[in-house]
Amino acid sequence: MGEIGIAIRTEGLTKVYRIGIRGTHVGIGDLTVEVPEGEIYGLVGPNGAGKTTTLKLLLGLLFPTSGSGEVLGLPLGSPDYKARIGYVPDGPYFYDHLNAPELLRFYGALFGLTGKVLEQRIAELLELVGMADRAHFRVHEYSKGMRQRVAVAQALLNDPDLIFLDEPTAGLDPMGAIQMRNIVLDLRQRGKTVFLCSHLLKDMEPMCDRVAIVSRGALKLTGPIDEVLQAGAGYRVRATGVSPETRRKIEAVVTGIVEPDADGVAVLKAADQKRALEVANTAAGDGAQVLEVGPDRRTLEEVFIDVVEGQAGD
Amino acid sequence: MDKKRGAGVAARSLAIMLLLVAIGLVALAVLNLQGLRLLFGSLALLLVGIAAAILLQPNFRAIYRVASATFFEARRRRFMNVILIFAVILVGLSSFFATLSPSAELNMLLDIGLGSIRLCGMLIAVFLGARLIADEVDKKTVDVILAKPVRRAEFVIGKFLGAWITVTCFLLVMGVAFFIVYQIKAPQLVAKMQAVGMALSLEETSANVLKATLLILFEMMVLTSIAITVSTFASWIFSAVFAFTTYFAGQLSSYFHHIATFNDKSVAIINPSIKMFSWVIYRLLPHFEFFDIREKLLTHDPVYWEMIGMTAGHGVLYSLVLVALACVFFSYREF
């Protein structure tokens, strides 16, 4: 089995903006991350957390104040890796007077694509992003969602190994958002690396293999999504027929109880495996049917709130 | 890998050789050997360009694409068309100034016609040059382009070429409009002048009109490069104001030279710091007044091709230096 490469690596990457004569603002500070090839990596954080700054540093649009980084094994800003990446900006802007094929022809030519290869690629991509029937519209006639679709098309022109997406589902209708998710998942299926920036956590959670949470210009948490969601979540016992008597008995052991759902399944949460087994035994002894005992999993939103609120108290 | 490295070394050697030859040619141009200063200067410039292309290996396709996109985008700008229509009207009006004598009427035709082209060319060059890169940055279209395998210098060169091609096309339209008016009106006026015994060659005047238009083209090249260069680090308004100021100051280059070299203490004593300032201004600013040969046309003085070549060469060299500076400034810019 071949070794998995690293698509993006940063080492203490820092960007400090100057504000006025003496003021400074840390856009992102001391960012050290590794993005393995073939994964979907989500960078999440509230507005102004440093997501776009990080993205722009990786694209060479901003220069780091300190630290270093590599994209596809090449130093930040090198035009050589830019031939192998795609970029979907947040709220994409294009030349207003062009229509979608003209725009894609322009960007395709910047990658050195020409002739039939380019035309075929444009037709495929317009079909993929659902713009084939509206290809003749000029950019200034596009809705935000249509611009976003064209932005995705232009980012895929060169069949990139690594694609950067900044708020990819912003402005898309529900169908567009689903399409976008399918495109991203398909990219991973084809062995591509995807670097996603977003604050739409519900969109990110089902897609990402790995996440990093940034807030106020600092990296707060990073790791594989399963580890991040399970960390500190404790254990849970799913059971039916949990009586009030049982509840009273386990009151001191559980950390929380999720009331029974439509199927009558209640979730009893415990801090660790030992306590979870104790809860399960007590419930089973009282006649409840224990369906599952296992590690609990929080949502990305819950983890995010914990991280950001924890920092608010700092 | 070794093969690639070998090719790189060979390319660098060739470029260095070309640069050495170019230095030799510059020396010959300075010495004005056989009176071929213009030829030596042009060849030196060409060799420097080829050497730079070998060393930097620019992506010509990217430059071409940026330039063509700039051209097609620029010609859609409303203010450009307004200026163009204004210029064509002015040029047309230049034939309606009936004066006392045919000679004065011809001078009026030349003065107003060429002056209109120059004025409108200046407005187009300044506003277009100042806004092109600034608009790309403001509208964030530059982000997507620079995330592609396009070097910042290639982007700037593409923008400059696109702007200059646009300005050239607009000047061409104004020039054609003027030439039509001139071809209708001038033969009548020259015939009237010849009837009263005034000797004037229509062919020579026509050739001079062409030379004057050509110089306006190179003058606008310099102006465009000034506006673009400043816009790589400042707002478009500042760039436009700076370009206008430089343009008008450049019309006074002889005056600055006069102040800098003035030594007649019996007439006046000039503060040395003012003399130094004038010298610096004279050396730094492009000599825009040399591009305006209307005076020679009005006084029917000969206009030599060598002078046209030297002035155009001055313009090209000045623009190249400015565009190189623009590339450097832009390479440090953040988005």
Is residue A122 located within the same domain as residue A217?
A: yes
Give every CB contact of residue B280 below 8 A, 6+ residues apart in sequence. none
Which pLDDT band holds residue A311 (cuts at 50, 70, 90)?
A: low
**Domain-terminating residue out of A229, A247, A263:** A229
Mutate to test the interface with B, among A54, A56, A110 (most CBs of B within 10 A): A110
Asked if residue A82 belongs to a domain, the reply is yes
Q: Which residues of A touch B144 (CB under 8 A)?
A: 87, 89, 92-94, 107, 151, 154
Strand order through the sheet with A289-295:
A254-258, A265-270, A235-240, A289-295
Is residue A176 located within the same domain as residue A113?
A: yes
Question: Of the given ranges (A129-133, A136-140, B190-194), which has the lowest mean pLDDT?
Answer: B190-194
B69 contacts A95? CB cut-off 8 A = yes
Asked if residue A313 belongs to a domain, the reply is no
Distance CA A161, CA B68 (A): 29
DSSP B57: -
How many domains is chain A built from? Answer: 2
Residues in chain A: 314
Kindly report the number of other CB atoms within 10 A of residue A29's CB atom. Answer: 19
B335 contacts A93? CB cut-off 8 A = no
Residue A31, strand partner residues: A13
CATH number for the domain including A91? Answer: 3.40.50.300
* pLDDT per residue as tens digits for the range A55-71: 999 999 999 999 999 99
Asked if residue A309 belongs to a domain, the reply is no
By CB atoms closer than 10 A (0-12, 13-18, 19+), residue A251 is exposed
pLDDT given at position B123: 93
Asked if residue A21 belongs to a domain, the reply is yes
Q: Are A45 and A213 in contact (CB under 8 A)?
A: yes
- The type of residue at A34 is E
Structure-token pair, residue B52: 């730079």
- C-alpha count within 13 angstroms, C-beta hemisphere, residue A45: 26
* pLDDT per residue as tens digits for the range A188-209: 998 999 999 988 888 888 889 9
> A74-75 and A85-88: which strand pairing?
unpaired
Q: Which of residues 126-145 of B touch A (CB under 8 A)?
A: 139-141, 143-145
Is residue A189 located within the same domain as residue A55?
A: yes
Is residue A150 located within the same domain as residue A166?
A: yes
Evaluate if residue A166 carries a pLDDT over 80.
Answer: yes
Is residue A131 located within the same domain as residue A188?
A: yes
Of residues A312 and A93, the one with the higher pLDDT is A93
By CB atoms closer than 10 A (0-12, 13-18, 19+), residue B130 is buried
pLDDT given at position A38: 93
Is residue A85 located within the same domain as residue A196?
A: yes
Give every CB contact of residue A297 below 8 A, 6+ residues apart in sequence. A226, A229, A230, A233
**Domain-terminating residue out of A200, A229, A258:** A229
Structure-token pair, residue A222: 């990073």
Can you say how many angstroms the Cα of residue B176 is from the centroid of all Cα atoms in its chain? 19
* pLDDT per residue as tens digits for the range A12-38: 999 999 888 888 999 999 999 999 999
The C-alpha of B69 sits at a distance from chain A's nearest C-alpha, in angstroms, of: 8
Asked if A17 reaches chain B (Cβ–Cβ under 8 Å), the answer is no
Percent of chain A with pLDDT over 90: 45
Listed in sequence order, the DSSP H helices in chain A are 51-59, 79-82, 100-110, 115-128, 144-155, 174-189, 201-204, 225-230, 244-250, 273-285, 300-312
**DSSP reduced 3-state for B16:** helix
- C-alpha count within 13 angstroms, C-beta hemisphere, residue A241: 11
Distance CA A196, CA A216 (A): 18
For residue A99, which phi and psi values (nearest 5 degrees)? -95, 180
Residue A193, strand partner residues: A162
For residue A163, give the H/E element and its range: strand A162-166
A82 contacts B147? CB cut-off 8 A = yes
Distance CA B49, CA B54 (A): 9
Distance CA B102, CA B196 (A): 10
Residue A111's closest chain B neighbor by CA? B149
Mutate to test the interface with A, among B148, B154, B329 (most CBs of A within 10 A): B148
Distance CA B276, CA A51 (A): 51
Is residue A25 located within the same domain as residue A165?
A: yes
Distance CA B156, CA B132 (A): 10
* Per-residue model confidence as pLDDT tens for chain B (335 residues): 566 677 778 888 888 888 899 888 888 877 776 667 777 877 888 888 888 888 878 888 889 999 999 998 887 777 777 888 887 887 777 777 666 677 788 888 888 888 989 998 999 999 999 999 998 998 888 999 999 999 999 999 999 999 999 999 999 988 888 888 888 888 888 888 777 777 777 788 888 889 999 999 999 999 999 999 999 999 999 999 999 999 999 988 888 888 888 877 776 777 888 888 888 888 888 889 889 888 888 887 888 888 898 889 889 889 999 999 999 999 999 98
Evaluate if residue A223 carries a pLDDT over 70.
Answer: yes
DSSP A260: P
Is residue A155 located within the same domain as residue A286?
A: no
Asked if residue A302 belongs to a domain, the reply is no
Asked if residue A310 belongs to a domain, the reply is no
pLDDT given at position A314: 47
Asked if residue A116 belongs to a domain, the reply is yes
In angstroms, what CA-CA distances link B247 with A164, B122, B230, B240, B273? Answer: 44, 9, 14, 10, 23
Is residue A139 located within the same domain as residue A275?
A: no
Is residue A45 located within the same domain as residue A174?
A: yes
Distance CA A276, CA B298 (A): 102
pTM: 0.83
Distance CA B335, CA B325 (A): 19
Average pLDDT of the residues of chain A? 88
Distance CA A182, CA A190 (A): 12
Is residue A225 located within the same domain as residue A242?
A: no
Which pLDDT band holds residue A143 (cuts at 50, 70, 90)?
A: confident
* Option in A59, A93, A112 nearest B141 (CB): A93
In angstroms, what CA-CA distances link B222 with A229, B112, B130, B166, B244? Answer: 61, 22, 13, 14, 12
DSSP A129: T
Distance CA A173, CA B254 (A): 65
A95 contacts B65? CB cut-off 8 A = no
Q: Are A269 and A258 in contact (CB under 8 A)?
A: yes
- Direct distance between the N- and C-terminal alpha carbons of chain A, in angstroms, rounded to an integer: 45
pLDDT given at position A2: 52
Range of the domain at A15: 6-229
Cα Rg of chain A (Å, integer):
24
CATH number for the domain including A279? Answer: 3.30.70
**Domain-terminating residue out of A171, A203, A229:** A229
pLDDT given at position A313: 44
**DSSP reduced 3-state for B142:** helix
A82 contacts B61? CB cut-off 8 A = no
Distance CA B91, CA B115 (A): 9
Cα Rg of chain B (Å, integer):
23
Where would I find the beta strands (DSSP E) of chain B? none
Distance CA B177, CA B295 (A): 21
Is residue A238 located within the same domain as residue A224?
A: no
* Option in B61, B73, B147 nearest A109 (CB): B61
How much is the ipTM here?
0.82
By CB atoms closer than 10 A (0-12, 13-18, 19+), residue A209 is middle
Which pLDDT band holds residue A162 (cuts at 50, 70, 90)?
A: very high
Evaluate if residue A83 carries a pLDDT over 80.
Answer: yes
Asked if B335 reaches chain A (Cβ–Cβ under 8 Å), the answer is yes
Q: Which of residues 96-135 of A touch B (CB under 8 A)?
A: 97, 106-107, 109-112
Asked if residue A276 belongs to a domain, the reply is yes
